[in-house]
Structure 1
Amino acid sequence: MLELLFLLLPVAAAYGWFMGRNSVKHKELKGRASITRNLSSGLNFLLTDQEDKAIEQLLELLDIEAATIETYLALANLFRRKGDWDKAIRIHEKLHQLKLPKPQAQQIQFELAKDYFSAGLYDRAEKLLVTLVKSPSLGEAALKQLFSIFIATHEWSKAKQYSAAVDATNSRSLRIAQANMQIEAQKQSSDTNITLIAELAERYPAAIRPKYELAQQAIQVNEKALAKSALLYIAEHKPQWAADILPLLQQCNLAGEEWYQLLSHLANKHNNITATVLLAAWLSEHGSATAAEQFLLDKLTQQPSIRLFQQLLQIRQQQSAPAAEVLSSVKELVNAYLDKKSLYGCRNCGFKTRKHYWLCPSCQQWETVEPVGGIDGR
């Protein structure tokens, strides 16, 4: 009998293991069924436009199951895009309370900061972003979001404390933003320092504004050589800005041949309208009106432009007194047409304006608003 009991022990153990396993499976299945019911209920609320109830129902699942976080992130981002920032914030705040792996926790923190920014809660957003600046994966994005806050609040001086972090990235746009905001900080304090602007121009060669501001300041204090150097750098690396820099270069006492070579380079290699107009005027003054007229006719054949036609009218007015009155009427019509055209356009979002902005009012990007080209451009 005792031997029989020993033989039955393995059977009893096996039975106990089998029943225990089934019990665990039963609990798992019950838990999953509960999650499925809650999820289905939440989705039904969404489909029937009962979003508040849907959020409450779905957030309850976070206490049970954190494996579906990507779904919640997608839902919160959808609310943010729709402008329902309070709903996005509630979801992200709930996610932020969970104990998650660091990369996932930081991503949720970054999304919550974007919610706060969208809702105008800049101080809360900044507090979250500051701790993400050193993150290997999110550092650059956090810096860009921080700079968006400084732009919104006009706290330009705050950008300077992140100079080292910006230099550690490969972001060209961040360097341009850093240079512009430091210049804005100087203007805000009414302490424009030509030495500091020169340092910014050297430190951030991708940015146009430091060199442009440096040239303007240098002209005011009669340092024409410094202004000339800065403007020629822009002409070489950003020829599309010729419409704005050539009038400044005319104040820098360029030698006749040097001025001619610069205009020829911009007009013939880069097809710049302003340079072509100024070159035609130079030819008319130093050569002959006939040569200037032929030059413009050739250019108009290759590159139709209202402004080149305007210059051609002016030269023909000077050549022919009898035709001057008729041409004057045509010129007035052309001038009226051009007076309504945009002078600048944002290469990033397409915003058009007659006034120049260093920061695009539409897409909030620095140095993307440039002189317009094309048939109506400069």
Structure 2
Amino acid sequence: MLELLFLLLPVAAAYGWFMGRNSVKHQELKDRTNITKNLSSGLNFLLTDQEDKAIEQLLHLLDIEAATIDTYLALANLFRRRGDWDKAIRIHEKLHQLKLPKSQARQIQFELAKDYQSAGLYDRAEKLLVPLVRQEPLQEASLKHLIALYISTHEWGKALQLTDAVAATSSNSLRLALANIGCEQLKQEEEDRASQALQSLAEQYPKAIRPRFELAELLLANQQPKQAFALYKSILHDKPQWAADILPLAKRCQVSDEDWYSLLSQLSHKHNNISAHIELAGWLLQHGSDKAAEQLLLDKLQQQPNIRLFRTLLEQRKQSTAQGADALESVTELVANYLDKKVLYSCRNCGFKTRQHYWLCPSCQHWETVEPISGIDGR
């Protein structure tokens, strides 16, 4: 009898293993059935525009299955693009509570910070973004959002504290942002201190326009026209499309005829700038070269059709010929009325159009992207 018991032990063990395995499979099958049921219910709520119920149903699944996080991230991003910040926040907050690998957890933290920022909860967004500015690969993106946050709240000092972190990236847009933020901070400074700080910004961020532009304005106001003219020339060397705004200021710098003619010639012949064509024609008129001025305008019009050049030519002919002056006057007035309604600036990043210049694009929030327009109506 004892021998029979020993023989039955392996059978009992095998039976136990078999029943246990079937029990595990049964539980897994039951869990999967519940997941499918809840997922189906959630999707049904979404399809019937019952989004709040759908979110509750889908978030309940996170306690069971965390492997579908990418699906939840996509859903939260969809809500954020639609402007449903509260729904995106609820999903990302639930994901943020899960124990996940560091890379995935940081990505969710970044997405949640974006939700808070979009919803105007800047203090919460800042708290999540600050630790991420030193973490790759989210460093640059986190810096852009954090600096954008400080721009919205006009906390220029906090933004400038990120100088070292920005220097560790290769982002030119972030450097331009800090250069302009530095200029914003200097608005309340005394003139002498502002001049020194602008000089430092111009040297630290050589690709930025605004520090040089505002420094030149200060120098011109302090009766230092030569230094101001040198700065205006450096801006035009880097950004000849800014001639429409820079040339009237540079003209006040009391430069010699030779230097002024040299600058206008370079901008006109090398860069085909409309404002330079017009200024050069005016310079030729002042020096008694009426025919040369008219020929310059005609040649440039043939090469580069432009309404502003055409108006300048009409005005010149109206002054030089008494016959038909009345007819030319009416045409000139029509052209002037047409140009008065045209936009003067356009953002090269988002296409925003305006008659007023902004250092910070109101549409896409990029610095120094709003520039004078080109083309048939350009300057």
Give the TM-score, by structure 2 length: 0.95
Match of 2:372 in 1: 371
Match of 1:183 in 2: 183
Measured after TM superposition, the shift of residue 253 of structure 1 is 2.9
Q: Distance in 1 between matches of 2:16 and 2:222?
A: 95
CA offset digits 1:72-110 (Å, max 9, x no partner): 111111111111111111111111111111111111111
**Structure 2 Cα separation of the partners of residues 352 and 43 of structure 1:** 42
- Runs of 4+ in structure 1 off by over 6 angstroms are none
Equivalent in the alignment of 2:324: 323
Q: Could you tell me how far apart the structure 2 residues matched to 1:21 and 1:223 are? A: 90
Give the superposition deviation at 1:326. Answer: 3.0
1:113 corresponding residue in structure 2: 113
Deviation per residue, 1:138-188 (Å, 9 max, x gap): 111111111221222222222111111111111111111111111111115
Q: Shift in Å at residue 277 of structure 1?
A: 0.4
**Matches of 2:13 and 2:255, distance apart in 1:** 101
Matched-pair contact (CA < 8 Å) for 1:156–1:182: yes
Deviations 1:209-251 (Å, cap 9, x if unpaired)?
Answer: 1111111111111222321222111111111111111112212
Taking every aligned residue pair, what percent have the same amino acid on both sides? 69
User: Unaligned regions of 5+ residues in structure 1, if any?
Assistant: none
- Separation in structure 1 between the aligned mates of residue 94 and residue 371 of structure 2, nearest angstrom: 44
2:360 is aligned to: 359
Helix, strand or coil for the counterpart of 1:357? coil
State the 1:332 CA deviation.
1.8
**Contact 1:159–1:182, Cα closer than 8 Å, also in 2:** no
Aligned partners of 2:223, 2:273: CA distance in 1, in Å? 28
The DSSP-based 3-state class of the residue aligned with 1:132 is helix
Report the equivalent of 1:123. Answer: 123
Q: Which residue of 1 aligns with 2:165?
A: 165
- Residue 190 of structure 1 deviates from its aligned partner by 6.4
Q: CA deviation at 1:117?
A: 1.1
Equivalent position amino acid for 1:90 in 2: R
The letter of the residue matching 1:348 is: N
Letter in 1 for 2:125: A
Q: Distance in 2 between matches of 1:272 and 1:261?
A: 14
Q: In 2, are the aligned partners of 1:343 and 1:377 still within 8 Å (CA)?
A: yes
Q: Which stretch of the first structure deviates more once superposed, 315-324 or 5-14?
A: 5-14
CA distance in 1, matches of 2:252, 2:331: 31
1:208 corresponding residue in structure 2 = 209
| Aligned equivalents of 1:262, 1:145: Cα separation in 2 | 40
* Offset, 1:44: 1.1
Whole-Å separation in 1 of the counterparts to 2:185 and 2:24: 64
Whether the 8 Å CA contact 2:278–2:309 is kept in 1: the answer is yes
1:246 aligns with 2:247: yes
Is 1:263 aligned to 2:264, yes or no? yes
User: 1:20 offset after TM fit, Å?
Assistant: 2.3
Distance 1:271 1:343 in 2: 18
Partner SS for 2:371: strand
**2:138 corresponds to:** 138
Runs (5+) with no aligned partner, structure 2 = none
TM alignment of 1:343-354, pairs within 5 A: 343-354=344-355
Q: CA deviation at 1:7?
A: 4.7
Look up the match of 1:312: 313
Deviation of 1:329 after TM superposition, in Å, equals: 2.4
Tell me the SS of whatever aligns to 1:179: helix
Shift of 1:325: 3.3
TM superposition shift of 1:3: 5.2
Tell me the amino acid that sits aligned with residue 301 of structure 1.
Answer: Q
Matched, 1:56 2:56: yes
* Structure 2 match to 1:275: 276
d(CA) in 1 for partners of 2:103 and 2:149?
Answer: 23
Q: Which whole-Å CA distance do the structure 2 matches of 1:355 and 1:64 have between them?
A: 56
Contact kept in structure 1, 2:76 and 2:91, CA below 8 Å: yes
CA shift for structure 1 position 116: 0.9
Note if contact 2:226-2:255 (Cα within 8 Å) is conserved in structure 1. Answer: no
**Structure 2 counterpart of 1:85, which letter?**
W
